[in-house]
Structure 1
Amino acid sequence: MKKQTTGSFQLASVAPLLFVLLWSTGFIGARFGLPYIEPFTFLSIRFALVLLLLGALTIIFRQPWLTKPASYGHSAVVGILLHSGYLGGVFFAIDGGMSAGLAALIVSLQPILTALIGQWTLGEQIAWRQWLGLGLGLVGVAAVVSDKLMAVGPAPVTPVSLTAAIIALLATTAGTLYQKRFGTGLPLLSGTWAQYLGALAVTAPLAWLCETGEIDWQPALIGALLWLTLVLSIGAILLLMLLIRARSAARVSSLFYLVPPATAVEAWLLFGEQLGWLAIGGLIIASIGVALVVVMPPKSIQR
C-alpha cells in the first residue's frame, strides 16, 4: 500500500511538468505541418485518427463507454471548446500570418480568466500569493514573447487572425471550467473519445465549406501529424483531464504560463531561434509565478 501511495505521489509530481513539455510542442508541430495543409483539414484528419486510436484503447483495456446522452453532451461541449475552439483558433491565427509567439501570448491570458471566472462558477478562492503568481506568470510570458518579437520583427496582425486568437483564448478558458464542473466523473478514455467526436463534428464541416482540401504529403507534415495525434491529442489531453480532476481549475490553468517559454526553448533547439536574456529572465519569472500558484492550493468553498 505504501508503494502504491509513493508511486501515485511521484506521478502527481511529474504530471504537471510532463504536460507542459508535451503541450508546448503543439506550436512546433503547427509550424512543421501548416505550410503543407490548411488548418481545419489538418485538425479534422488529426481528430479522426485520435477517434480510431482512443476507441481501440477503450476496447483493449475494457474501459466502460458512456451510456447517458447527457454524458456525451457534456464531453462534446468540452471537445468543441478545448479542441475545435482552442486549436482551431490558434491554427487559423498562425495560418493567417500571426506569429506563434503572439498567439501564445494572447492565449496565455487564460489563467487569469480562469481564476476570475472560477471563483464565480466553481467557488474556488484564490489566495493573494496565487494572484501574485498569476501576475508574475503573465509578466514572464510577455517577456519571452517580447524577446522573440524583437528578434524577428512584428508579424502581421489582421482583424481575422486577432479574432481567431481571442476565440481560442475564450474557448480554452470555458473548456477548462466546463470540464471541471461537468466532466470529472466520466470514464477517462471514452469521455475523451466523445470530446473528439464533438470536435470533429465542428472542424470537418468547416474544412469542407471553407477550405480546398489540398494536401502536400511531405515528411514534415506526416511527422507533425503523427506527433500531434499520438503525443498531443492522446498523451497530453489525457494528462490534462487527469490534472483537472485532481486539481483546481486555476492551478491547472497556471501551467499554461510555462508553455510559451518551453516553446521558445524548443524553437531555439530545433530551429536555432534566438533566445535572449529577456526570454531567459521571462522563463524564470514565469516558473516562479506558476510555483506560487501550484504549491499553495486554493481553499475551496463548498457549494
Structure 2
Amino acid sequence: MFKKMLPGLMFAILWSTGAIGAKFGIRSADGLMLAAIRFICTGLLFAPFFLIHPKHRFLPRRNEWKPIIIYGFLNSTATLGSFFAAQKFASAGISMLFTAVTPLLIALLSSLFLKRKLTRFEVGGMFISFAGLILASLAALPTASIKPLGILLLVIYVVAYALSSIYLSRTHMSLSRMVFNVWQVFAGGIMLLPFCFLFNTNHVRAVDANLLLSLAWLIIVLSFVANMIWMYLVKHDPVTAASWLYLVPVFGYLFGYLLLGESITLYSVAGTAMVIVGLVISKRKAKNAVTENA
C-alpha cells in the first residue's frame, strides 16, 4: 500500500516547495519573467538529452502539437504563470490554501466530463480535508497579506489547474511522458513571454546566486520531476491524483515555518490532522472499490 501512496506523497512534498522557490526567486526577478525563464530553460536543458537518447522520439508529429500547446497553455502558462504572478500580491500560506480548492474542481469536472462517479466516502474525505485546511489557516487569515489582484490570479490558477488535469486525462500521448512534459513546459514558457511584456513584469533585477539557485530548484525538481509524477497520477485517475493536493498546503506551512519564519499554530496542527484523516478515508474507500470490482 505504501508503494502505491509514495508517488502522491512525493508529489505533495515537492509541489509544496513551489511557493517557497517563487518567494526566493522574485527577490531577483519579476514573477512572470521568473516563470517564463524557468519553463524555457527546462526545455533547453533537457532537450539535448532526449535528442541523443535512442529510446525516446523527441520531435513531435504534426497531430501531436495540438495537445502539447493546449496542455502547455493550461498547465504552464495559465496555471503556473498566474501562481508566480500572484506571489507579489499574496502570502505563501494563502497561496497554498487556494490549492485546496483544486481537488474539488477536478472532482466536479471529472463527474461532468469524464462521467467519473464520486463515492460518498470520496466526497466526505475531500470535505474533511478541505475543512482541515480552512482550520489550519484561521490564525493567519486575519493578518494575511493578499490584494484583490492576488485573489484574481489565484482563481485563474486553480481553474486552469483543474482544466489542465481533466484535459490531460482525456489525451492520448504517443510521445513518451517525459518528452511530452519537456515540450509542454517549453511551449508554456514561450506563450508566457507576451504576458510578461503586456503587464510590464519582464524585469530581471539581478543575476545572482539567489536567482540561479531558485531557478535550479524550480527547473529540475518542479518542472521536471514533480510534473512527471503529476502526469503519472492524473493519467491513472485525476480525482485520486487531486486528493494529494490537500497535502500541499500542509507541507507548504511546514516549509514556510522552516525557511521563511512563518508561524505554526495549534490551528495548523489540528487542521493537518483533519487533512490526513480525510485522505485516509478517500484512499481506503478507493481500495475497497477496486477489491469489490475485481
Normalising by structure 2, we get a TM-score of: 0.90
Q: CA RMSD in A?
A: 2.0
| Residue of structure 1 in register with 2:278 after alignment | 289
Residue 244 (1) aligns with residue 234 (2): yes
- Note the 1:95-244 alignment, pairs <5 A: 95=88, 97-150=89-142, 153-158=143-148, 160-183=149-172, 186-209=175-198, 210-244=200-234
Tell whether 2:54 aligns with 1:65. Answer: no
Measured at CA, do residues 78 and 242 of structure 1 come closer, stay the same or move farther in structure 2, by a change above 3 Å? same
Match of 1:54 in 2: 46
Q: Which amino acid aligns with 1:239?
A: I
How far apart are 1:155 and its partner, in Å? 1.3
Question: Which residue identity lines up with residue 39 of structure 2 in the other structure?
Answer: F
Amino acid at match of 2:158: L
Name the aligned partner's letter for residue 62 of structure 2: P
> Which ranges in structure 2 are unaligned for 5 or more consecutive residues?
none
In the alignment, does 2:284 pair up with 1:265?
no
Contact 2:182 2:224 in 1 (8 A): no
Q: Is the 8 A contact 2:130 2:275 kept in 1?
A: yes
The answer (yes or no) to whether the contact 2:169–2:235 under 8 Å persists in 1 is: yes
Residues 80, 199 of structure 1: 8 Å contact kept: yes
Distance apart, 1:35 and its partner CA: 2.0
Q: Give 1:175 deviation, angstroms.
A: 0.4
Q: What is the number of residues matched between the two proteins?
A: 287
The one-letter code matched in structure 2 to 1:229 is I
Pick from 24, 37, 43 the counterpart of residue 16 of structure 2.
24
- Asked whether the equivalents of residues 29 and 224 of structure 1 are also in contact (C-alpha less than 8 Å), the reply is yes
Measured after TM superposition, the shift of residue 287 of structure 1 is 1.4
Instruction: Give the conservation status (yes or no) of the 8 Å contact 1:148–1:279.
Output: no
- Residue by residue over 1:92-144, the C-alpha shift from the partner in whole angstroms, topping out at 9 and shown as x without a partner, is 1221x212222222232111111111012112111100000110111111122
Secondary structure of the residue that 1:123 maps to in structure 2? coil
1:39, 1:92 within 8 Å by CA — same for their partners in 2? yes
CA distance in 1, matches of 2:223, 2:283: 24
Q: Is the 8 A contact 1:66 1:72 kept in 2?
A: no
Cα gap change, 1:122 to 1:186, in 2 (>3 Å):
farther
Q: CA deviation at 1:148?
A: 3.1
- Distance in 2, matches of 1:187 and 1:233, equals 16
What do the CA deviations read for 1:269-290 (whole angstroms, capped 9, x no partner)?
Answer: 2233211111011111111212
Q: Which 10-residue stretch deviates more, 183-192 or 119-128?
A: 183-192
SS in 1 for 2:286: coil
Closer, same or farther in 2 for the Cα pair 1:146/1:221, shift >3 Å?
A: farther
Sequence identity of aligned pairs in percent?
23
Name the structure 2 match of 1:43: 35
Change (3 A) 1:68 1:294: farther
Q: In 2, Cα distance between the equivalents of 1:99 and 1:84?
A: 21
